[in-house]
Structures are given as C-alpha cells and as structure tokens.
Amino acid sequence: MKITGAIITLNEEKNLPRSMGSLAWCDEVVVVDSGSKDRTVEIARHAGARVLHRDWTGYADQKNYAAEAASHDWILSLDADEVLSEGLREEILRVRSSSPEVAAFRFPRRAHYLGKWINHSGWYPDRKIRLYDRRKAKWVGDFIHESVVTHEPIGELRGDLLHYTCDSFASHLKSLDRYTDLAAREIAECGQKVGCSRLLIDPPWTFIRTFVLQFGFLDGIHGLAIAYTASRYVYLKYAKARALNSGR
C-alpha cells in the first residue's frame, strides 16, 4: 500500500515546513499551489514535493486535482496547518503494511488555538476522513466545509490530527470574515432564503450550545472566545446572505 501525501497551498511559508515534515515518510508528496507570493513553492520543492500550479477553483476541486495528480491511489490529504501526531503516524504506518478492506480512514482532529489545545467547545474530537482510496472516495463542497465522501466502508483510527489554527484573536476575526463571505455565497447560490429569525435566534443559540452544551466553559477563556466567534460566524453568514439575496 503506497501513499501520496497531498497539500493545497497559497502563501503558507509559515505553516508548510511543519506539515511537510509530517509527511516525509510518504511514498511521494504532491503540493498544488494556487499562486503563492512567498516562499511556499521553494519550501515544498526543497522538502522533495512535486509542486503543481493551478489557479484557485475551490477547496474540494483543488484537493481532488491533487489526488488525481498523485502516483498512488491512497491519498493522505492534509491542510498546510495540519500535522500528524506521533500516535496517528504510527497507526497509519501499520495500516500501510496491511491490505485494508475499507475505502477510507477517519480520525480525530485536535485544534491548537491561541496557544492552547482545545478539548471541548464542539472542536474535539471533530473526526475527519483524510486518508482515502481515490478510486472509491472524493472531496465534495463548492465553497467551504469540504469533506471526503465515500459509499464504501470507513475505518477508524484513534491518533490525533493536530490542527494549528489562529495564533491571535485578530487573525481569527480576519479569517471569520473571509469564511462568512464564502458561506453566504453558498447560501445564496442554493437559493436559500434567510429570515429575520435566523439573525435573532441562531447566533445566541449557537453561543449557548458551544459554551454550555458542548462544555466550552471547560476550555476557559479560550472556550468563551470560541463560543463568541461561533455565534458571530452564524450572524455574519446570514447577514451577508441576505445582502446578496436582496441584490439579485
């Protein structure tokens, strides 16, 4: 069982060395870059990756392109800010030496947020499929929240995928603005109508669910920040979707 590591990038010189190091054991690594202006491409090539340029077409589409360009059918797809934990790497190496009878493997993702590992707040275990057979699975999702989908059996691994998220609250708010733009476009493109109740009820409910029902309070001030930004995300995506719908 040979595995291709796959990463899509755009100006990821800060994160990429860590991610590339995590995939150094793979049979090959493919990086699909969409026009980085920093040292991303140089770093990827220096680490031994095969680098391909492709103008941005969306998260799922870029990741499917990376999988199609791979030399092997089994794909281990990471984002540039993600790293395999030692435990997860060892599990995958054991899988690699076998003949798995599943189409994909799912494992938990643990976020490092503002200098702390998050254990609650709806952020953990956040199980993701990232190791899959491209003949039986693919990425879907036109705008955001892309995911691997398969109709075949899925295996479960226990080791953590480590996700190094925002290192400052300001950067979190900045990314929130970008992602709510995409979420609003997705809502508008689907023709979904957004009533006032969505703006009035959903944001506070999201805060309560995140901070109380999903035990965000156990993450302390970090959990409070996550609950606040989660409710802000919901408000902004619906407000922007209403603005887009009214302009049509």
**pLDDT, tens only, 14-39:** 999 999 999 999 999 999 999 999 99
Average pLDDT over residues 146-157: 97
Q: Which residues pair with 132 in a beta bridge?
A: 75, 104
Q: Is the pLDDT of residue 248 over 80?
A: no
Q: What are the φ/ψ torsions at residue 59 (nearest 5 degrees)?
A: -60, -55
Is pLDDT at 49 greater than 70 in this prediction? yes
DSSP category for residue 9: E
pLDDT, tens digit, 9 for 90 and up, residues 120-134: 999 999 999 999 999
**Residue 209 DSSP class:** I
In this predicted structure, what is the pLDDT of residue 247? Answer: 67
160 pLDDT tier (thresholds 50, 70, 90): very high
Q: Supply the pLDDT for residue 145.
A: 86
Report how far residue 45's alpha carbon sits from residue 210's, in angstroms, rounded to the nearest whole number.
41
Q: For the chain, what is the mean pLDDT?
A: 96
Cα dist from 19 to 12, 13, 29, 157, whole Å: 10, 10, 11, 19
Torsion of CA 35, 37, 39, 44, to 10 degrees: 0
pTM: 0.93
The answer, yes or no, to whether residue 208 has pLDDT greater than 80, is yes
Query: How confident is the model at residue 187, as a pLDDT?
Result: 92
Q: How confident is the model at residue 193 (pLDDT cuts 50, 70, 90)?
A: confident
